[in-house]
Amino acid sequence: MKPLACRFCGSHLTETFADLGMSPLANSYVRPEAARDMEPFYPLHAYVCSDCRLVQIEQVATPDHIFSDYLYFSSYSDSWLRHAEAYCDAMIKRFSLGPQSQVVEIASNDGYLLQYFKARGVPVLGVEPAANVAKFAIEKGIDTRVAFFGAQTAIGLSDEGFGADLVAANNVMAHVPDLNDFVRGFKNLLKPTGVVTVEFPHLLTQMRENQFDTIYHEHFSYFSLLAAEKVFAHHGLVIFDVDQLSTHGGSLRIYGRHRENDALPVTEAVGRVRAEESAAGLDGPDAYKAFAKQVVDIKCEVLSFLIEAKRAGKTVVGYGAPAKGNTLLNYCGVKTDFIAFTVDRSPHKQGTLLPGTHIPVRAPEAIAESKPDYVLILPWNLKDEVMEQMSGIRDWGGKFVVAIPRLQVIE
Protein backbone atom coordinates (compact mmCIF):
# COMPACT_ATOMS: atom_id res chain seq x y z
CA MET A 1 0.00 0.00 0.00
CA LYS A 2 1.36 3.43 -0.97
CA PRO A 3 2.30 5.47 2.12
CA LEU A 4 0.24 8.57 2.84
CA ALA A 5 1.97 11.91 2.33
CA CYS A 6 1.56 15.06 4.44
CA ARG A 7 -0.70 17.51 2.60
CA PHE A 8 1.63 20.39 3.51
CA CYS A 9 5.25 19.18 3.41
CA GLY A 10 4.92 15.84 1.60
CA SER A 11 6.58 13.70 4.29
CA HIS A 12 5.34 10.14 4.79
CA LEU A 13 2.72 9.83 7.54
CA THR A 14 3.47 7.07 10.04
CA GLU A 15 2.43 8.41 13.48
CA THR A 16 -1.19 7.79 14.55
CA PHE A 17 -3.07 10.56 16.34
CA ALA A 18 -6.46 8.80 16.63
CA ASP A 19 -7.89 5.77 14.85
CA LEU A 20 -11.70 5.99 14.98
CA GLY A 21 -12.40 3.01 12.76
CA MET A 22 -14.86 3.17 9.86
CA SER A 23 -17.36 6.02 9.67
CA PRO A 24 -19.71 7.68 7.14
CA LEU A 25 -19.31 11.30 6.06
CA ALA A 26 -20.43 13.23 9.13
CA ASN A 27 -22.69 15.66 7.28
CA SER A 28 -24.31 13.11 4.95
CA TYR A 29 -27.73 13.04 6.60
CA VAL A 30 -30.00 10.29 5.33
CA ARG A 31 -33.52 10.78 4.02
CA PRO A 32 -35.96 8.24 5.52
CA GLU A 33 -36.85 6.85 2.10
CA ALA A 34 -33.15 6.00 1.58
CA ALA A 35 -32.71 4.31 4.95
CA ARG A 36 -32.25 0.86 3.36
CA ASP A 37 -29.82 2.03 0.68
CA MET A 38 -26.12 1.26 0.85
CA GLU A 39 -24.27 3.86 2.91
CA PRO A 40 -20.52 4.26 2.33
CA PHE A 41 -18.18 4.11 5.31
CA TYR A 42 -14.55 5.23 5.15
CA PRO A 43 -11.51 4.90 7.43
CA LEU A 44 -11.40 7.72 9.98
CA HIS A 45 -7.73 7.64 10.94
CA ALA A 46 -5.89 10.81 11.94
CA TYR A 47 -2.11 11.02 11.64
CA VAL A 48 0.46 13.59 12.76
CA CYS A 49 3.31 14.51 10.44
CA SER A 50 6.68 13.72 12.00
CA ASP A 51 8.26 16.74 10.30
CA CYS A 52 5.84 19.69 10.32
CA ARG A 53 3.52 18.35 13.07
CA LEU A 54 0.34 18.93 11.06
CA VAL A 55 -2.45 16.60 12.23
CA GLN A 56 -4.51 15.34 9.30
CA ILE A 57 -6.68 12.60 7.85
CA GLU A 58 -6.60 10.98 4.47
CA GLN A 59 -8.86 12.50 1.81
CA VAL A 60 -11.56 9.91 1.10
CA ALA A 61 -14.05 12.09 -0.78
CA THR A 62 -13.77 15.15 -2.99
CA PRO A 63 -14.79 18.61 -1.74
CA ASP A 64 -17.44 18.68 -4.49
CA HIS A 65 -19.05 15.58 -3.01
CA ILE A 66 -18.88 16.86 0.58
CA PHE A 67 -19.74 20.54 0.26
CA SER A 68 -21.77 21.14 -2.89
CA ASP A 69 -25.02 20.38 -1.05
CA TYR A 70 -24.43 21.18 2.61
CA LEU A 71 -26.74 21.13 5.62
CA TYR A 72 -24.76 23.29 8.04
CA PHE A 73 -26.23 26.79 8.41
CA SER A 74 -24.33 29.13 10.73
CA SER A 75 -27.29 31.36 11.55
CA TYR A 76 -29.03 28.76 13.72
CA SER A 77 -26.68 29.37 16.67
CA ASP A 78 -27.42 32.52 18.64
CA SER A 79 -24.02 32.46 20.34
CA TRP A 80 -22.23 32.15 16.99
CA LEU A 81 -24.13 35.16 15.65
CA ARG A 82 -23.05 37.18 18.70
CA HIS A 83 -19.48 36.07 18.06
CA ALA A 84 -19.73 37.18 14.43
CA GLU A 85 -21.09 40.62 15.30
CA ALA A 86 -18.39 41.16 17.94
CA TYR A 87 -15.74 40.21 15.38
CA CYS A 88 -17.17 42.70 12.89
CA ASP A 89 -17.05 45.55 15.39
CA ALA A 90 -13.51 44.68 16.51
CA MET A 91 -12.10 44.46 12.97
CA ILE A 92 -13.72 47.74 11.87
CA LYS A 93 -12.20 49.50 14.86
CA ARG A 94 -8.75 47.89 14.73
CA PHE A 95 -8.14 48.20 10.98
CA SER A 96 -10.21 51.37 10.29
CA LEU A 97 -12.52 49.67 7.82
CA GLY A 98 -15.18 51.74 6.09
CA PRO A 99 -16.91 52.41 2.76
CA GLN A 100 -13.52 52.52 1.02
CA SER A 101 -12.57 49.03 2.23
CA GLN A 102 -13.22 45.52 0.93
CA VAL A 103 -14.02 42.57 3.19
CA VAL A 104 -14.05 39.07 1.70
CA GLU A 105 -15.15 36.03 3.65
CA ILE A 106 -14.10 32.55 2.59
CA ALA A 107 -16.79 29.92 3.23
CA SER A 108 -19.30 32.67 3.94
CA ASN A 109 -22.14 30.19 4.50
CA ASP A 110 -25.56 31.86 4.77
CA GLY A 111 -24.23 35.39 5.31
CA TYR A 112 -24.13 35.07 9.10
CA LEU A 113 -20.98 37.28 9.34
CA LEU A 114 -20.98 39.55 6.32
CA GLN A 115 -24.46 40.83 7.15
CA TYR A 116 -22.92 42.79 10.04
CA PHE A 117 -20.24 44.42 7.88
CA LYS A 118 -22.84 45.26 5.24
CA ALA A 119 -25.09 46.88 7.86
CA ARG A 120 -22.17 49.09 8.89
CA GLY A 121 -21.52 50.27 5.35
CA VAL A 122 -18.44 48.16 4.59
CA PRO A 123 -18.41 46.54 1.10
CA VAL A 124 -18.46 42.74 1.30
CA LEU A 125 -18.07 39.67 -0.88
CA GLY A 126 -18.71 36.08 0.14
CA VAL A 127 -17.11 33.00 -1.41
CA GLU A 128 -19.14 29.87 -0.63
CA PRO A 129 -18.93 26.47 -2.40
CA ALA A 130 -22.36 25.17 -1.32
CA ALA A 131 -24.93 26.65 -3.69
CA ASN A 132 -27.87 25.66 -1.47
CA VAL A 133 -26.35 27.61 1.44
CA ALA A 134 -25.11 30.57 -0.62
CA LYS A 135 -28.68 31.11 -1.83
CA PHE A 136 -29.70 32.28 1.64
CA ALA A 137 -26.88 34.83 1.76
CA ILE A 138 -27.80 36.16 -1.67
CA GLU A 139 -31.40 36.55 -0.51
CA LYS A 140 -30.06 38.78 2.30
CA GLY A 141 -28.50 41.03 -0.33
CA ILE A 142 -24.94 39.79 0.24
CA ASP A 143 -22.86 39.49 -2.93
CA THR A 144 -21.74 35.85 -2.97
CA ARG A 145 -19.72 33.78 -5.43
CA VAL A 146 -20.42 30.05 -5.50
CA ALA A 147 -16.90 28.69 -5.77
CA PHE A 148 -14.15 26.80 -3.99
CA PHE A 149 -11.45 29.19 -2.85
CA GLY A 150 -7.85 28.77 -3.92
CA ALA A 151 -5.00 30.51 -5.70
CA GLN A 152 -6.73 30.87 -9.08
CA THR A 153 -10.06 31.96 -7.59
CA ALA A 154 -8.18 34.62 -5.63
CA ILE A 155 -6.39 35.93 -8.71
CA GLY A 156 -9.70 36.18 -10.55
CA LEU A 157 -11.34 38.10 -7.72
CA SER A 158 -8.37 40.43 -7.39
CA ASP A 159 -8.45 41.12 -11.14
CA GLU A 160 -12.15 42.01 -10.79
CA GLY A 161 -11.34 44.63 -8.17
CA PHE A 162 -12.01 42.58 -5.05
CA GLY A 163 -8.51 42.85 -3.62
CA ALA A 164 -9.12 42.58 0.12
CA ASP A 165 -8.31 44.81 3.07
CA LEU A 166 -9.63 42.01 5.27
CA VAL A 167 -10.08 38.34 4.47
CA ALA A 168 -12.06 36.36 7.05
CA ALA A 169 -11.86 32.57 7.08
CA ASN A 170 -13.73 31.07 10.03
CA ASN A 171 -13.55 27.30 10.56
CA VAL A 172 -12.76 26.58 6.92
CA MET A 173 -9.00 25.98 6.69
CA ALA A 174 -9.52 22.53 8.17
CA HIS A 175 -11.95 21.72 5.34
CA VAL A 176 -9.54 22.05 2.39
CA PRO A 177 -7.56 19.07 1.08
CA ASP A 178 -5.15 21.24 -0.95
CA LEU A 179 -3.88 23.32 1.94
CA ASN A 180 -1.05 24.96 0.02
CA ASP A 181 -3.33 26.15 -2.78
CA PHE A 182 -5.78 27.55 -0.21
CA VAL A 183 -3.22 29.58 1.74
CA ARG A 184 -1.61 30.75 -1.49
CA GLY A 185 -5.06 32.17 -2.25
CA PHE A 186 -4.77 34.45 0.79
CA LYS A 187 -1.47 35.73 -0.58
CA ASN A 188 -3.04 36.44 -3.97
CA LEU A 189 -6.19 38.14 -2.65
CA LEU A 190 -4.76 40.47 0.01
CA LYS A 191 -3.90 44.05 -0.80
CA PRO A 192 -0.31 44.99 0.14
CA THR A 193 -1.52 46.24 3.53
CA GLY A 194 -4.34 43.69 3.84
CA VAL A 195 -4.93 41.33 6.75
CA VAL A 196 -6.30 37.78 6.84
CA THR A 197 -7.85 36.32 9.98
CA VAL A 198 -8.37 32.59 10.29
CA GLU A 199 -10.24 30.89 13.10
CA PHE A 200 -9.89 27.19 13.86
CA PRO A 201 -10.26 24.88 16.86
CA HIS A 202 -6.93 24.89 18.70
CA LEU A 203 -5.26 21.50 18.53
CA LEU A 204 -3.77 21.94 21.99
CA THR A 205 -7.23 22.45 23.51
CA GLN A 206 -8.64 19.56 21.50
CA MET A 207 -6.01 17.30 23.03
CA ARG A 208 -6.36 18.61 26.59
CA GLU A 209 -10.17 18.42 26.49
CA ASN A 210 -10.44 15.04 24.71
CA GLN A 211 -12.28 16.62 21.76
CA PHE A 212 -11.73 13.68 19.42
CA ASP A 213 -15.25 14.05 18.01
CA THR A 214 -14.08 17.08 16.03
CA ILE A 215 -12.28 14.57 13.79
CA TYR A 216 -14.37 13.73 10.75
CA HIS A 217 -13.86 13.38 7.01
CA GLU A 218 -14.93 16.94 6.24
CA HIS A 219 -12.05 18.13 8.47
CA PHE A 220 -8.89 17.30 6.58
CA SER A 221 -6.45 19.06 8.94
CA TYR A 222 -6.18 20.04 12.65
CA PHE A 223 -4.00 23.01 13.52
CA SER A 224 -1.62 24.14 16.18
CA LEU A 225 -0.05 27.57 15.92
CA LEU A 226 3.29 25.82 15.34
CA ALA A 227 1.97 24.08 12.23
CA ALA A 228 0.01 27.10 10.97
CA GLU A 229 3.10 29.33 11.16
CA LYS A 230 5.03 26.92 8.95
CA VAL A 231 2.27 26.83 6.35
CA PHE A 232 1.86 30.62 6.27
CA ALA A 233 5.61 31.28 6.13
CA HIS A 234 5.95 28.91 3.17
CA HIS A 235 3.60 31.19 1.22
CA GLY A 236 5.15 34.54 2.20
CA LEU A 237 2.75 35.33 5.03
CA VAL A 238 3.54 36.18 8.65
CA ILE A 239 1.25 35.44 11.59
CA PHE A 240 1.59 38.68 13.54
CA ASP A 241 -1.07 38.22 16.23
CA VAL A 242 -3.27 35.55 17.77
CA ASP A 243 -6.39 35.57 19.94
CA GLN A 244 -7.41 32.64 22.13
CA LEU A 245 -11.18 32.19 21.86
CA SER A 246 -13.80 30.13 23.68
CA THR A 247 -15.69 29.19 20.50
CA HIS A 248 -15.91 25.54 19.42
CA GLY A 249 -14.52 24.41 22.73
CA GLY A 250 -11.37 26.54 22.42
CA SER A 251 -10.13 28.16 19.21
CA LEU A 252 -7.38 30.37 17.86
CA ARG A 253 -7.87 33.40 15.66
CA ILE A 254 -4.63 34.07 13.83
CA TYR A 255 -3.85 37.33 12.03
CA GLY A 256 -1.73 37.13 8.89
CA ARG A 257 -0.10 39.71 6.65
CA HIS A 258 2.37 39.87 3.78
CA ARG A 259 5.93 39.28 4.91
CA GLU A 260 6.86 42.69 3.48
CA ASN A 261 4.33 44.62 5.60
CA ASP A 262 6.43 45.62 8.61
CA ALA A 263 3.80 48.13 9.73
CA LEU A 264 2.14 45.30 11.69
CA PRO A 265 4.76 43.93 14.13
CA VAL A 266 4.52 40.44 15.62
CA THR A 267 2.89 40.65 19.06
CA GLU A 268 3.87 38.98 22.31
CA ALA A 269 0.74 36.83 22.07
CA VAL A 270 2.26 34.83 19.22
CA GLY A 271 5.33 33.95 21.26
CA ARG A 272 3.21 33.13 24.29
CA VAL A 273 0.99 30.62 22.46
CA ARG A 274 3.97 29.15 20.64
CA ALA A 275 5.75 28.59 23.97
CA GLU A 276 2.62 27.03 25.50
CA GLU A 277 2.39 24.53 22.65
CA SER A 278 6.07 23.63 22.91
CA ALA A 279 5.79 23.16 26.68
CA ALA A 280 2.88 20.76 26.07
CA GLY A 281 5.03 18.69 23.72
CA LEU A 282 3.39 19.58 20.42
CA ASP A 283 6.79 19.81 18.74
CA GLY A 284 7.55 16.15 19.61
CA PRO A 285 5.81 12.75 19.35
CA ASP A 286 4.83 11.82 22.93
CA ALA A 287 1.85 14.15 23.43
CA TYR A 288 0.18 12.84 20.29
CA LYS A 289 0.65 9.20 21.35
CA ALA A 290 -1.04 9.87 24.71
CA PHE A 291 -4.13 11.28 22.99
CA ALA A 292 -5.04 7.92 21.43
CA LYS A 293 -5.56 6.34 24.87
CA GLN A 294 -7.80 9.22 26.00
CA VAL A 295 -10.10 8.54 23.04
CA VAL A 296 -10.67 4.93 24.09
CA ASP A 297 -11.39 6.03 27.68
CA ILE A 298 -14.21 8.33 26.53
CA LYS A 299 -15.77 5.55 24.45
CA CYS A 300 -15.86 3.30 27.49
CA GLU A 301 -17.50 6.02 29.61
CA VAL A 302 -20.21 6.73 27.03
CA LEU A 303 -21.09 3.08 26.55
CA SER A 304 -21.10 2.38 30.29
CA PHE A 305 -23.53 5.26 30.90
CA LEU A 306 -25.89 4.20 28.10
CA ILE A 307 -25.87 0.54 29.13
CA GLU A 308 -26.59 1.38 32.77
CA ALA A 309 -29.40 3.77 31.78
CA LYS A 310 -30.93 1.12 29.53
CA ARG A 311 -30.83 -1.54 32.22
CA ALA A 312 -32.42 0.88 34.68
CA GLY A 313 -35.32 1.54 32.29
CA LYS A 314 -34.27 5.15 31.67
CA THR A 315 -34.78 6.93 28.34
CA VAL A 316 -32.05 8.89 26.58
CA VAL A 317 -32.46 11.28 23.65
CA GLY A 318 -30.02 13.61 21.97
CA TYR A 319 -29.92 17.35 21.48
CA GLY A 320 -28.37 18.56 18.25
CA ALA A 321 -27.28 16.91 15.02
CA PRO A 322 -23.73 18.30 14.61
CA ALA A 323 -21.01 16.55 12.66
CA LYS A 324 -19.04 16.06 15.87
CA GLY A 325 -21.97 14.15 17.35
CA ASN A 326 -21.97 11.79 14.37
CA THR A 327 -18.29 11.01 14.94
CA LEU A 328 -18.97 10.24 18.61
CA LEU A 329 -22.02 8.05 17.98
CA ASN A 330 -20.48 6.08 15.12
CA TYR A 331 -17.21 5.51 16.97
CA CYS A 332 -19.13 4.25 20.00
CA GLY A 333 -21.51 2.15 17.87
CA VAL A 334 -24.60 3.86 19.32
CA LYS A 335 -27.90 3.48 17.48
CA THR A 336 -31.61 3.82 18.28
CA ASP A 337 -31.42 1.00 20.80
CA PHE A 338 -29.68 3.46 23.13
CA ILE A 339 -30.80 6.89 21.83
CA ALA A 340 -34.36 7.00 20.49
CA PHE A 341 -33.98 10.28 18.60
CA THR A 342 -32.19 13.61 18.61
CA VAL A 343 -33.51 17.12 17.97
CA ASP A 344 -32.12 20.10 16.08
CA ARG A 345 -33.22 23.69 15.54
CA SER A 346 -32.30 23.59 11.86
CA PRO A 347 -35.34 22.68 9.73
CA HIS A 348 -32.89 21.47 7.08
CA LYS A 349 -31.89 18.55 9.35
CA GLN A 350 -35.30 17.81 10.85
CA GLY A 351 -36.91 14.75 9.29
CA THR A 352 -33.59 13.17 8.36
CA LEU A 353 -31.62 10.31 9.94
CA LEU A 354 -28.13 10.71 11.34
CA PRO A 355 -25.50 9.15 9.04
CA GLY A 356 -24.45 5.67 10.05
CA THR A 357 -26.52 5.40 13.22
CA HIS A 358 -29.86 6.32 11.55
CA ILE A 359 -31.07 8.05 14.71
CA PRO A 360 -34.06 10.24 13.68
CA VAL A 361 -33.70 14.03 13.83
CA ARG A 362 -36.81 15.82 15.10
CA ALA A 363 -37.80 19.35 16.07
CA PRO A 364 -36.88 20.48 19.63
CA GLU A 365 -40.51 20.23 20.74
CA ALA A 366 -40.19 16.44 20.62
CA ILE A 367 -38.26 16.50 23.90
CA ALA A 368 -41.12 18.11 25.83
CA GLU A 369 -43.54 15.64 24.26
CA SER A 370 -41.55 12.51 25.22
CA LYS A 371 -40.13 13.73 28.59
CA PRO A 372 -36.90 11.68 28.55
CA ASP A 373 -34.81 11.01 31.64
CA TYR A 374 -31.60 12.21 29.98
CA VAL A 375 -30.74 14.60 27.15
CA LEU A 376 -27.28 14.00 25.67
CA ILE A 377 -25.98 17.34 24.35
CA LEU A 378 -24.01 16.47 21.21
CA PRO A 379 -22.80 20.04 20.43
CA TRP A 380 -21.02 20.26 23.81
CA ASN A 381 -19.45 23.58 22.78
CA LEU A 382 -22.98 25.06 22.98
CA LYS A 383 -23.78 23.36 26.30
CA ASP A 384 -24.76 26.53 28.17
CA GLU A 385 -26.92 27.79 25.30
CA VAL A 386 -28.70 24.43 25.00
CA MET A 387 -29.33 24.07 28.75
CA GLU A 388 -30.86 27.54 28.82
CA GLN A 389 -33.12 26.79 25.84
CA MET A 390 -34.16 23.40 27.22
CA SER A 391 -34.31 24.25 30.93
CA GLY A 392 -37.87 22.91 31.04
CA ILE A 393 -36.66 19.32 31.15
CA ARG A 394 -36.03 19.80 34.87
CA ASP A 395 -39.80 20.11 35.37
CA TRP A 396 -40.12 16.31 35.05
CA GLY A 397 -36.73 15.50 36.60
CA GLY A 398 -34.82 15.28 33.34
CA LYS A 399 -31.04 15.68 33.34
CA PHE A 400 -28.47 16.85 30.80
CA VAL A 401 -25.44 14.76 29.81
CA VAL A 402 -22.24 15.73 28.00
CA ALA A 403 -19.51 13.30 26.91
CA ILE A 404 -16.62 15.73 26.33
CA PRO A 405 -14.14 16.27 27.97
CA ARG A 406 -15.39 13.51 30.30
CA LEU A 407 -18.87 12.08 30.69
CA GLN A 408 -20.88 14.30 33.04
CA VAL A 409 -24.52 14.19 34.18
CA ILE A 410 -25.86 17.69 34.92
CA GLU A 411 -29.00 18.01 37.01
Question: What CATH number is associated with residue 375?
Answer: 3.40.50.720
* The pLDDT value given to residue 267: 98
Query: The domain containing residue 115 runs over which residues?
Result: 67-278
In this structure, is residue 32 part of a structural domain?
A: no
Residue 226 lies in a domain: yes
Q: What is the pLDDT of residues 120-158, one digit of tens each?
A: 999 999 999 888 888 988 999 999 999 999 999 999 999
Model confidence, pTM: 0.88
Question: Is 123 inside any structural domain?
Answer: yes
Tens digits of per-residue pLDDT, 358-368?
999 999 999 99
Q: Indicate whether 306 and 225 sit together in one domain.
A: no
Do 272 and 344 belong to one domain?
no
129 plus 270 within the same structural domain: yes
The verdict on 270 and 296 lying in the same domain is no
In a domain, 35, yes or no: no
Report how many domains make up the chain.
2
Residue 166 belongs to a domain: yes
pLDDT digit string (tens) for 198-253?
Answer: 999 999 999 999 999 999 998 999 999 999 999 999 999 999 999 999 888 899 99
Question: What digits encode the pLDDT tens for the residues 170-183?
Answer: 999 999 999 999 99
The arithmetic mean of pLDDT across residues 60-67, rounded, is 62
Domain-terminating residue out of 254, 278, 302: 278
Q: How far apart are CA 23 and CA 46, in angstroms?
A: 13
Domain end, chosen from 253, 278, 303, is at 278
**Which of 243, 278, 313 is the last residue before a domain boundary?**
278
The predicted pLDDT at position 60 comes to 79
Would residue 187 count as lying in a domain?
yes
Residues 192 and 138 both lie in one domain: yes
Q: Are residues 164 and 297 in the same domain?
A: no
**265 and 311 share one domain:** no
pLDDT at 266 over 90: yes
pLDDT for 62 equals 61
Distances (CA, A) of 205 to 15, 22, 226, 330: 20, 25, 14, 23
